[in-house]
Amino acid sequence: MNSLFEKDEWMIIEDGFHPELNREAESIFSIGNGYMGQRANFEENYSGDSLQGSYVAGIYYPDKTRVGWWKNGYPEYFAKVLNAPKWIGIDLSVDGCTLDLAKSEIRSFRRILNMKEGYLERSFVFSPSRGKSLEIAVRRFVSMADPDLGLISYTIRPLDFNGTAEFDLYLDADVRNEDTNYGEKFWKDIYFKAEEGSGIITAKTLKTGFLVTMAMKWMLRKNGKKLIAKPLVTGRPGYVSNKLVINFSNSDEITVYKYVSVQSSLNHPGKELVSVASARAEYAMKKGFKKLFDEHKNEWKKIWETTDVHIEGDIEAQQGIRFNIFHLNQTYTGKDERLNIGPKGFTGEKYGGSTYWDTEAFALPFFLKTAPAGVARNLLIYRYKHLGKAIENGKKLGFRDGAALYPMVTMNGEECHNEWEITFEEIHRNGAIAFAIYNYIRHTGDKRYMADCGLEVLIGISRFWKQRATFSENLGKYVILGVTGPNEYENNVSNNWYTNTMAVWTLSFAIASLNELKRNNPEALKKIISKTGLKQEAEIRDWEDIIGRMHSPFDEKRKVFLQQDGFLDKELRLSASIPKRERPINQHWSWDRILRSCFIKQADVLQGLYVLEEQYDTETIKRNFDFYEPMTVHESSLSACIHSILASRIGNIKKAYELYLRTARLDLDDYNREVADGLHITSMAGTWLSIVEGFGGMRIRSDRVELSPLIPEQWRSYSFHARFRELLFEVKVTGKSVKITNLSDHWLPISIFKKSYDIKSSAKLVVKIK
């Protein structure tokens, strides 16, 4: 896959068709708008290998869990993001020969993802029979301006013959997920209406009962002029089609525009879906492709104006970061607090499209720094609304008195993942959710959030830590037994340093926040106390006791934190000693061998040092980095970015750059050989952080933005946009200077290389790098 795509600053280009890598390309060229998404499947039926993927945010199916040995506490189901009805369908036959890219004669194939303007384009020459050929160009987008609209323009230009083209425009709900536990179809077709010029279908998900309605309209142009054609209409439950037969002469240009509105019962009452969808498709057709496309482009322009990262001198790095920013914005727009960010976004079925700790630990810091505060706030509100379910989940596992254990994987707040070592043991996710509240407030300054929602969550999580930690008479310390840290290559360990440290941090933060509210908003605190039944004195006393006496595994000899109590009993080896043919180890070694090895899947102690960096000096970070990085195999996409940020932090720019490239082009170069399943959307946020927090050294401290930029020698310059408390600014770093432009109408408090400045609105500041 390495060299499949051309290097370009703004585009991903596949030159020549590579059917053996079609699934990979379908992931890479996916489009989305936060509301729906579509893999780069072809409009025409394709008999070759493909993962069909069309997704509507928030629509899922609770697929009953299949496990050999059921353990008490296991969730009933694993949620699956649904492959939704196919809206892109356009089949083409020319002179009776049906186009199928797996079988037809084609040449000059090119597929382009234009990240600047947010569309997918495909062009090729199709020869229906000897001596006949036509150019075909297809463009599609899902609108950023009107999120329910998906649009396609499909153009044919015969090169050297006269003939007949038949376009079959259809909507089809006969779709399946590849990933099902029982091979079932998840949709039931309940409505259709096919007329000349339009078609509508409604399908309903089994069990969850979500309704999705799609309405299509079309328009035809020949040589730029509107063409009236009478279609052949077909309809049956779950399927509608309009077939158009058009005669063409040599060099005619014929374009079919397909306008589709996708509506779901998440946003409208079921009874209204058909009328809303058909009115919206009608609106789209009347407005026309060009105008809708212009509005869509304009939305992307606005996004890029405030989120672009520009790198001079390194096209691979440039393409990589734009690819990441592009997909993150396609996945989440922050308009709907019921939605979240699946690790694969809208690009595949893996991970079920559900929410993981990835959101708080990786995606949230990205959105905090690139989008208005409301976007990140909605991510927090999502968890706030799930607090009741997190408490229920705690209860199910035997906790009580309002102890909240957020799920490792969820759609609606219920746990829906069942590997015991993850579901029951990867409890560190609770720490990430608590830290997200702190992170949100320090970035946005929205202190009200604590009183409105944050403290309730912190109380629930603190209660969980209190009950999950037990006192060891032997050590005279609190311990947290039987956990899995972020490094999933060790299970059921005792005292994972990261987990224990995050537990202590949460308890301290909860107490500090309670005290602050007591001082500043006693009325709000009273309400929270009555809602949560907090026994202030007794519970805080317990929390303080744990804070003071939590066990923190440490190696006195090396002066490093220990990943867990037994880590030093392992044979310590460098990952460089693993033969190349055995990498990734998760595809070559038995699970047993992995678990007993010292090899680390992803940042674990280092994750903690990244999150709580303020508490540790550079020497400590360096010692731990030098100890753990050589044992880390980075077989989770979430790893290299954190290591890269820390490498920058300790001044190891060479390593930081090496790790950066790995994270930035993880999918484009398919490092982990799994792009076919979808893209690593949440790790893309980590990539952005490797530039901004890593090379740029951006931190928020004491109500001020801090920067201490470095620049990799491969780059002439780089610049990025970031936000702090609704202030937008741009940072440009060259080998010689740092330039900050305040793009807001308020002064920006900043410190560069530890010296403070207040930059006036619209002003620039240049600081020399020594």
Which residues are identified as catalytic?
A: 488
Q: Which helix (H) or strand (E) holds 13?
A: strand 11-15
Close Cβ partners of 225 (under 8 Å, ≥ 6 residues apart): none
State the nearest-atom distance from the C-beta of 418 to ligand BGC, in Å. 15
Contact 149, 292 (CB under 8 A): yes
Q: Any contact of residue 486 with ligand BGC (CB under 6 A)?
A: yes
Q: How far is CA 41 from each of CA 111, 555, 650, rounded to the nearest angstrom? A: 11, 53, 44
SS (H, E, C) 512-580: HHHHHHHHHCHHHHHHHHHHHCCCHHHHHHHHHHHHHHECCCEECCCCEECCCCCHHHCCCCCHHHCCH
Give the three-class secondary structure for 369.
helix
State the nearest-atom distance from the C-beta of 541 to ligand BGC, in Å. 34
State the nearest-atom distance from the C-beta of 353 to ligand BGC, in Å. 11
Q: How far is CA 388 from each of CA 55, 376, 424, 536, 588, rounded to the nearest angstrom? A: 28, 21, 18, 20, 42
522-532 helix and 455-468 helix, angle to the nearest 10 degrees: 50
State the nearest-atom distance from the C-beta of 357 to ligand BGC, in Å. 6
Residue number, 141 or 357, with CB nearest to ligand BGC: 357
Residue number, 198 or 636, with CB nearest to ligand BGC: 636
State the nearest-atom distance from the C-beta of 637 to ligand BGC, in Å. 7
Q: Give residue for tokens 């059917």.
A: 19
Provide the CA 66 distance to its chain's centre, in angstroms: 27
Residue number, 24 or 358, with CB nearest to ligand BGC: 358
Count of residues that interact with ligand BGC, criterion CB under 6 A: 12
Q: Which of the residues 598 through 617 are near ligand BGC (CB under 6 A)?
A: 601-602
Contact 485, 499 (CB under 8 A): yes
Written as one letter, the residue type at 730 is E
Binding ligand BGC by CB under 6 A: which of 636, 663, 687, 719?
A: 636
Contact 256, 244 (CB under 8 A): yes
Residue number, 358 or 730, with CB nearest to ligand BGC: 358
Q: Which of the residues 341 through 380 are near ligand BGC (CB under 6 A)?
A: 343, 351, 356-358
Of 277, 266, 301, nearest to 150 by C-alpha is 277
Q: Any contact of residue 133 with ligand BGC (CB under 6 A)?
A: no
From residue 676 to residue 705, the character string flagging contacts with ligand BGC as x (rule: CB under 6 A) and all else as - is ------x-----------------------
Residue 336 and residue 355: Cα distance in Å, rounded? 14
State the nearest-atom distance from the C-beta of 343 to ligand BGC, in Å. 4
Query: If you ran DSSP here, which 8-state letter would residue 272 be given?
Result: G
CB atoms under 10 Å from CB of 176, counted, come to 14
Backbone angles phi, psi at 717, to 5 degrees: -160, 165
Binding ligand BGC by CB under 6 A: which of 433, 453, 609, 638?
A: 638
Residue number, 343 or 454, with CB nearest to ligand BGC: 343
Binding ligand BGC by CB under 6 A: which of 189, 415, 488, 539?
A: 488
Residue number, 357 or 671, with CB nearest to ligand BGC: 357
Contact 358, 331 (CB under 8 A): no
Residue 184 token pair = 């079932």
Give the three-class secondary structure for 281.
helix
Residue number, 357 or 657, with CB nearest to ligand BGC: 357
Sheet (strand 163-172) strand order? 97-98, 90-94, 163-172, 239-248, 232-236
State the nearest-atom distance from the C-beta of 671 to ligand BGC, in Å. 14
Residue number, 216 or 379, with CB nearest to ligand BGC: 379
Q: Any contact of residue 278 with ligand BGC (CB under 6 A)?
A: no
Residues that bind ligand BGC in the complex, under the rule CB under 6 A: 343, 351, 356-358, 486, 488, 601-602, 636, 638, 682
